[in-house]
Amino acid sequence: MWSRRHVLVSGATAVAGAAVLSRLEARAEEEAAPPGGGPEPGASHLPVAVPNGVTLPWKLVDGVKVYHLVAERFSHQFAPGLDVECWGYNGRTPGPVIEAIEGDRVRIYVTNRLPEPTSIHWHGILLPNGMDGVSGLTQRPIPVGQTFLYEFTLRQSGSYMYHPHYDEMVQMGMGMMGMFVIHPTAPESPPIDRDFAIMLSEWAVKPGTRKPDPTVMTDFNVFTMNGKVYPATEPLVVRRGQRVRIRLGNLGATDHHPIHIHGHNFRVTGTDGGRIADAGRWPETTVLVSVGAVRDIEFVADAPGDWAFHCHMTHHVMNQMGHGLPNMLGVKPGELDRKVQRLLPEYMTMGEAGMGGMEHMTAMGVPENSIPMLGGTGPFGHIDMGGMFTIIKVREGITSYADPGWYRHPPGTVAERATAAQLRADGIEV
């Protein structure tokens, strides 16, 4: 099977709680709690929603918020058909979102169940030097089987991250990362109605294998949002007219991600350095989230529909595609297929007329535990994008985060085949 796959690739087939302010109290009963979040008594903010993820539970001990992270190995599914052995926190990659409020005293226990030492760095957070988590510089590494304690007071608000600072290439390449959201003490103006957190990651998983290769630096072939590729990414569901914030973090090894929204524009309102003043914002439809950076974007969801939200690097919205392939566009295979089929009966040359519509390849003997060309079924046929792709679903009058299904377009608002009469009327010759 692998030798057949190798021939296909080398022939360029490319298989390869609501808050308690009066404004929020009024709607608390009509809206379901966002996935991964919950209300905090006395808070002036909405809890963050984590598509395909969760927030980290905490308890209050003598006025301190206490959390527990466990660094460990586990099996993780990027999408049905692709299960991999990852490293992460509390059985997840990315790890649970840590959520707190500016001014909180936090105490975070970190237990190491990895096969090697580790540490944890609180990326972008202002804290005492000995809590910064750089192994060898500010602390001893956490030995296998031991638990270390980090404690500090949160002096800022915004979107931040956490990750190891020990054997970073391997541990982060295997999935060890997460987001840390600190809400401001004062209510935000204008207020946020939907607050999402998404971690962007990249992986090298060769078809047929079950373990990422953390030594790869350029040829990544799986690109995830909160550890999932489309069609496994959960949609971001909002009600028309709501103000939405999406917190985007990138702890990939090499690639920056230009994240693009359809049907709306937004303003970049924050980074892992803090909130951006109003005068420093401008409208965009694409934001570049660099390696090691966070970008907060905000917009009003004023256009109903199912809107794509994705990385605009085209090979980042495909799954397990080989990138070092010869260009077959325009090639006429002639007798090649017949000759190769003597050795590989199912072989066919592909790519000479483009790669669209090739989702049927997933049924043509690809290696076990691989998802080349995997996309999803949409209301108008196959959606051939995968990878770092999801959908923002804007609807009138919705009251929960549940997926409302596909958008029902008003009559006459869907692009269709032009009729002969339309062409004649407008003087178009084809």
pLDDT tens for each residue of 134-148: 999 999 999 999 999
Token couple for 105: 């005293």
The Cα 68–Cα 110 span in angstroms is 6
Which distant-in-sequence residues (6+ apart) come within 8 Å of 183 by Cβ?
43, 44, 45, 99, 100, 101, 102, 157
CB 319 within 8 A of CB 229: yes
Q: Which of 48, 64, 60 is nearest to 96 (CA)?
A: 48
pLDDT at 17: 32
Question: Mean pLDDT over all residues of the chain?
Answer: 85
DSSP H helical ranges for 335-390: 336-340
pLDDT at 37 over 50: no
> Computed from CA positions of residues 314, 319, 320, 322, in that sequence, does the dihedral angle turn out positive or negative?
negative
401, 18 Cβ separation under 8 angstroms: no
Q: What is the CATH number of domain 22-311?
A: 2.60.40.420
Q: What is the pLDDT of residues 376-411, one digit of tens each?
A: 788 998 887 888 899 999 999 998 889 999 999 999
State the pLDDT at residue 10: 31
Question: Does residue 324 carry a pLDDT above 60?
Answer: no
* pLDDT given for residue 387 in this prediction: 85
Q: Percentage of residues in the chain with pLDDT exceeding 70?
A: 79
Q: What is the pLDDT of residues 243-269, one digit of tens each?
A: 999 999 999 999 999 999 999 999 999
> pLDDT tens-digit profile of 40-55?
655 668 899 999 999 9
Q: Report the Cα–Cα distance between both ends of the chain, in Å, rounded.
A: 46
Q: How far apart are CA 354 and CA 126, in angstroms?
A: 50
